[in-house]
Amino acid sequence: MKLLYFAWLRARIGHAEEVFPLPEGVHNVAGLLDWLRGRGGNYAEALKDSSVIRVAVNQEYVGLTHPIRDGDEIAVFPPMTGG
Amino acid sequence: MIRVQREDFDVGVELDRVAKGDHSIGGVASFIGLVRDMGGPQRVAALTLEHYPGMTEKKLAEIEAEANRRWPLSASLIIHRYGRLEPGDRIVLVATASPHREAALAACHFLIDWLKTDAPFWKREETPHGERWVEARHEDDEAARRWRNPAR
C-alpha cells in the first residue's frame, strides 16, 4: 500500500510518501494510525493528537473504522485550509 | 468546469467565458479569494498552497456537481491555484451563471464555503517569525455545515 503525508504532517514525519505491505494485524484506519505511532520518533510525535488528523483512502475522506487493504492509497493530513 | 493551476488567471476573460453563447443567462455571480496580509506581528510575506493532486480535482468536481444538483445553473467555474503566492495575489475564483440571480448568488456562496473545508489544500504562511501552517477555522466548518441542511 501507498501512504501519502501532507502539510505539517509531512514536515514532521520527514517525507511525503512511502510504500510498504499492509502490516500484519492492521485492518482499519485506526489500526494503521496506531501501527504508525508504534514506530515511535517522528511518527509518534506527528500523529499524537487524533483530533487534527484526517485520512483519505483511495481519495475519499473516511473515518477511523474504515477498512484498509493492501494496494490502497492512504493519505494522512491535517484539516484542510483551502479557498 | 474546474481548473487547478499554478499560474494566475484573468478575471475578466474567465467571467466573460462563463456566460458566453448562452443568452438565457441572466447573471453571473463570482467570488475571488486573495492572499491576505493583516500586518502587525502576523505579517504575511508569502503564502504557499500545497494540495493533493488527483484528489483535489476529484473533490472540486464533486462539489461543483453538488451545486448543479441544488441550483439551476447554466454554467459554473472553479479555478484554484497552488504554489507560492504573495499578498494581493489571487488564490481562487468561483463563478456561477443562471437565468436568475438567486441561484447564481446562493450557489457561489455554497461553493466557496465548501471549498474551505472539503478541498484538499493546505496553506503555509511566511511570517517574520518563520513559517506557520494555517490552522483550520471553526467558523469555516460552521459555514460549510450550514449548507448541509439548506433552508431553502
pLDDT digits (tens, 9 = 90+) for B47-104: 999 999 999 999 999 999 999 999 999 999 999 999 999 999 999 999 999 999 999 9
pLDDT of B21: 93
Chain A hits for B121, CB-CB cut-off 8 Å, are 80-83
pLDDT of B113: 94
φ/ψ region of B125 (left if φ > 0, alpha if ψ in -120 to 50, else beta) reads: beta
d(C-alpha A53, C-alpha A66), whole Å: 14
CB–CB contacts below 8 A, A to B:
68
pLDDT band per the 50, 70, 90 thresholds, residue A41: very high
Burial class (CB in 10 A: 0-12, 13-18, 19+), A61: middle
E-assigned strand segments in chain B: 2-5, 27-34, 46-51, 75-81, 83-85, 90-98, 121-127, 130-133
For residue B16, pLDDT beyond 60:
yes
CB contact under 8 A, A80 and B116: yes
pTM: 0.92
Q: Which residue of A has its CA nearest to B79?
A: A83
CB contact under 8 A, B121 and A77: no
Give every CB contact of residue B69 below 8 A, 6+ residues apart in sequence. Answer: none
Partners of B92 in beta bridges: B33, B80
For residue B144, pLDDT beyond 90:
no
d(C-alpha A41, C-alpha A30), whole Å: 19
Q: Which residue of A has its CA nearest to B91?
A: A83
Query: Contact at 8 Å (CB) between B63 and B114?
Result: yes
pLDDT of B87: 96
Query: Contact at 8 Å (CB) between B44 and B124?
Result: no
Query: Contact at 8 Å (CB) between B3 and B64?
Result: no
For residue A52, pLDDT beyond 80:
yes
pLDDT of B149: 66
d(C-alpha B81, C-alpha B66), whole Å: 21
Mean of the per-residue pLDDT values of chain A: 96
pLDDT band per the 50, 70, 90 thresholds, residue B150: low
Chain A hits for B112, CB-CB cut-off 8 Å, are 83
pLDDT of B152: 46
pLDDT band per the 50, 70, 90 thresholds, residue B42: confident
Chain B hits for A8, CB-CB cut-off 8 Å, are 122, 133
CB contact under 8 A, A56 and B52: yes
Least confident range from B2-11, B64-73, B128-137, B142-151: namely: B142-151
Which of B55, B124, B125 is the best mutation test for A, with the most CBs of A within 10 A?
Answer: B55
Partners of A73 in beta bridges: A2
Mean of the per-residue pLDDT values of chain B: 93
Q: Quick one: cell of A6?
A: 501532507
Query: Contact at 8 Å (CB) between A1 and A23?
Result: no
